[in-house]
Amino acid sequence: MKAVLRRIGPSGVLGGFLATVLIVFAVLGPWLAPYDPVALDLRARLGAPSAAHLLGADEFGRDILSRLIFGARVSITVATTTVALAMVIGVALGLTAGYLRGWTDRVIMILNDSALAFPGLLLALGIMAVVGASTTAMVIALGIAFAPAVVRVTRSSVLSLREREFVEASRVMGNAERTTMIRHVLPNCVGPLTVLATAMFGWVILAESALSFLGLGVPPPAPSWGNMLAAARPYIQEAPWLIILPGLCISAALLGANLLGDALRDLLDPRMQS
Amino acid sequence: MIRFMLGRLALAIPTLFIVTLAVFAMVRAIPGDPASAMLGDLATPEMVARLKASMGIDKPLPVQYVIWLGDVVSGDFGRSIGNDEPVGPLIWERFKVSASIVLLAVALASMVAVPAGMIAAWRQGTATDLGLIGVATLLLSIPSFWLGLMILLVFGLGLGWFPILGSQALSGSWREWAAAIAMPVLTLFLVEMGSIVRMSRAATIDVLRQEYITHARAKGLSESAVMWRHAFRNAFAPTWTLIGLILGALLGGIAVVETVFTIPGLGRLLVEGIYTRDYPVVQGCILMIAFVYVVVNLIVDMAYPFFDPKVAR
């Protein structure tokens, strides 16, 4: 444990700490938040931080601290489901392409490269233009938008693994291709995929808050850091804390994901060390 | 060299083909009749019938695609549902605003961040390195729209240096235009510095480990000669690719910054098109951004051998 801590360094520890705080808030939110995040209290409207509302209240008098805590829950839920979706799609396609090679590989990679020809957020915007804006639509859109990166990483690990002796051995022993792939090839892709998933976690939190800021993500009144920023924009002069606080939360979450991602990369993938 | 360039050009053609196919399929994926969807709720039956005829709806899908592609190639993107303006000129006008912001921001960020990353690598492990990489990681973790709001709060509202509404970016005089885009350029400049510094540092560290650098040092060259004459070109190659990716991706993500500063750019046009279900506008914007993304990456790849001649062989 000590050796691991030394290898990931102080910035990795900070990243781990930020991520832990975020997850604790997300999981324990209902018990930690002092108020209901959607409860209105018009007397407290645009109130500055005070004893009753520690971080102030928004334009409907809703408690900011409670909304920020529930916002963590929204961000973590969206990020976890989106990353899981992108992983499932990406690993399935990448494994198939890298292991079967031939025409299957070529078709998957041409489609994949075309998906990569769209900037990620644009692809998500395009999908949401068709299916309409909702949290579910956003998760599906972002999951599809981020899957091509997973396909690439999985395929390239599989390509280097499939020539190795233990994969050959499994084939010689008469195991079916599918068994070889799932039991022997896939577990060896876990390292690079973990690094990618951590980085992707940050990208998704950023994309979610950007889409919610544009009014195309988590719909109000549900609290998300992005839609809180959008709602607070008209009050930027009277109540600047409404703008400052959600942004600090997004930045802390992103910093956590970035630092943890760097540390995991150094730990798990010596080839990518900087 | 020329063969490499032609090869890269040939690779871009199937990508562009699939991009147009995807954008075409997008509107067809909307449930219901695409002509009614394209025209919105207020359309009369005659308008729908006219559009159906021009889209060739009664013909098979591949024929419809060819008709649509022909229109797009000749610059006809249809008319906006909202104000019946032709979409092509509208997109071009807005694109110029967004492109000038993105180009300026990325050019300035590269000029500062590439040398900064090289200095961090050169002084690897020292306080200078830790300071630079720390600032870069911090910048990478700040969302552009929030940084924009902070800049708006300080320079727009607090100090009053710049106009808080950026609408003059489209129609104002040269000075009004510059004042309108100053804050968005500053925002994107800071945001993009983060990733460029990190890439430039990592690439330079890789290069500095190589034998020809040890050789250059051993023959008694000064550190700055080693750095700028021998390391720079090779260390810049991967960063150059990243800069290309950023240029293209920024255009897809610029809507948030344009929203913060009320800039009438392409991103804003796209998002407003999505709100109002103005499909001709949405289709045109997505096509334009994806096209620019592919072309920018093509240009970047074609210039790559200039920095790393090994690639062209």
Instruction: Verify that B144 and B192 share a domain, yes or no.
Output: yes
A-chain residues near B269 (CB < 8 A): none
User: Do residue A251 and residue B18 have CB atoms under 8 angstroms apart?
Assistant: no
- Give residue B32's pLDDT: 66
Q: Is the pLDDT of residue B40 over 70?
A: no
Q: Is the pLDDT of residue A242 over 80?
A: yes
Q: Which residue has the higher pLDDT, B18 or B171?
A: B18
Instruction: Verify that B115 and B225 share a domain, yes or no.
Output: yes
Q: Which residue has the higher pLDDT, B21 or B252?
A: B21
User: Do residue A213 and residue B256 have CB atoms under 8 angstroms apart?
Assistant: yes
Q: Is residue B81 part of a domain?
A: no
Q: Is residue B300 part of a domain?
A: yes
- Give residue A191's pLDDT: 80
Assign A10 to helix, strand or coil.
Answer: helix
Q: Is the pLDDT of residue A101 over 50?
A: yes
- Taking only the tens place, the pLDDT of each residue in B84-93 is 788 888 899 8
User: Do residue B149 and residue A258 have CB atoms under 8 angstroms apart?
Assistant: no
- Taking only the tens place, the pLDDT of each residue in B41-99 is 667 777 777 777 777 666 777 888 888 888 888 777 777 777 778 888 889 989 988 99
Domains identified in chain A and CATH numbers = 2-272 (1.10.3720.10)
Question: Quick one: average pLDDT of B113-140?
Answer: 87
- Give residue A273's pLDDT: 42
CB B156 within 8 A of CB B240: no
User: Do residue A214 and residue B248 have CB atoms under 8 angstroms apart?
Assistant: no
Place of tokens 């805590």: A69
Residue A120 makes CB contacts below 8 A (sequence gap 6+) with A142, A145, A146, A203, A207, B249, B252
B-chain residues near A255 (CB < 8 A): 137-138, 141
pLDDT confidence band for B127 (50 / 70 / 90): confident
Residue percentage of chain A with pLDDT more than 90: 12
- Pick the residue of A108, A109, A130 with the most B CBs within 10 A to test the interface with B by mutation: A130
Last residue of a domain, one of B42, B73, B104: B73
Instruction: Verify that B261 and B200 share a domain, yes or no.
Output: yes
pLDDT confidence band for A79 (50 / 70 / 90): very high
pLDDT confidence band for A1 (50 / 70 / 90): low
The C-alpha of B40 sits at a distance from chain A's nearest C-alpha, in angstroms, of: 13
- Residue in B closest to A132 by C-alpha: B274
User: Tell me, what amino acid is at B29?
Assistant: A
Give the gyration radius of chain A's Cα atoms.
22
B300 at A interface, C-beta within 8 A: no
Nearest to A210 among B22, B157, B256 (CB): B256
Question: Quick one: average pLDDT of B9-18?
Answer: 79
Last residue of a domain, one of B73, B95, B124: B73
State which residues form the domain around B202: 87-312
Last residue of a domain, one of B73, B102, B121: B73
- Mean of pLDDT over chain A: 83
- Taking only the tens place, the pLDDT of each residue in B191-242 is 889 888 988 888 888 887 888 888 888 887 787 777 777 778 777 877 888 8
Q: Which residue has the higher pLDDT, A61 or A102?
A: A102
Nearest to A255 among B138, B150, B279 (CB): B138
The C-alpha of A34 sits at a distance from chain B's nearest C-alpha, in angstroms, of: 26
Instruction: Verify that B24 and B156 share a domain, yes or no.
Output: no
- Give residue A272's pLDDT: 46
Q: Is the pLDDT of residue A162 over 80?
A: no
Cα three-residue angle B169-A233-A247, rounded to 5 degrees: 105
Q: Which residue has the higher pLDDT, A35 or B144?
A: B144
pLDDT confidence band for B189 (50 / 70 / 90): very high
Instruction: Verify that B257 and B121 share a domain, yes or no.
Output: yes
Q: Is residue B295 part of a domain?
A: yes
Instruction: Verify that B50 and B166 share a domain, yes or no.
Output: no
Q: Is the pLDDT of residue A82 over 90?
A: yes
The C-alpha of A206 sits at a distance from chain B's nearest C-alpha, in angstroms, of: 7
Q: Is residue B197 part of a domain?
A: yes
Q: A221: cis peptide before it, omega within 30°?
A: yes
- Give residue B241's pLDDT: 80
pLDDT confidence band for A274 (50 / 70 / 90): very low
| Three-class SS of B102-132 | HHHHHHHHHHHHHHHHHHHHHCCCCHHHHHH
pLDDT confidence band for A126 (50 / 70 / 90): confident
The C-alpha of B62 sits at a distance from chain A's nearest C-alpha, in angstroms, of: 19
A-chain residues near B276 (CB < 8 A): none
- Give residue A81's pLDDT: 95
Q: Is the pLDDT of residue A271 over 70?
A: no
The C-alpha of A163 sits at a distance from chain B's nearest C-alpha, in angstroms, of: 26
Q: Is residue B79 part of a domain?
A: no
Q: Is residue B41 part of a domain?
A: yes
**Tally of domains within chain B:** 2
Q: Is residue B80 part of a domain?
A: no
CATH number of the domain residue B184 falls in: 1.10.3720.10
C-alpha distance from residue B157 to each of A30, A237, B226, B254, B301 (Å): 37, 7, 47, 22, 42
Instruction: Verify that B238 and B148 share a domain, yes or no.
Output: yes
Q: Is the pLDDT of residue A243 over 90?
A: no
Q: What is the DSSP letter of B86?
A: B
- Give residue A90's pLDDT: 92
B-chain residues near A128 (CB < 8 A): 274
- Taking only the tens place, the pLDDT of each residue in B131-171 is 888 898 888 889 888 999 999 888 877 787 877 777 776 77
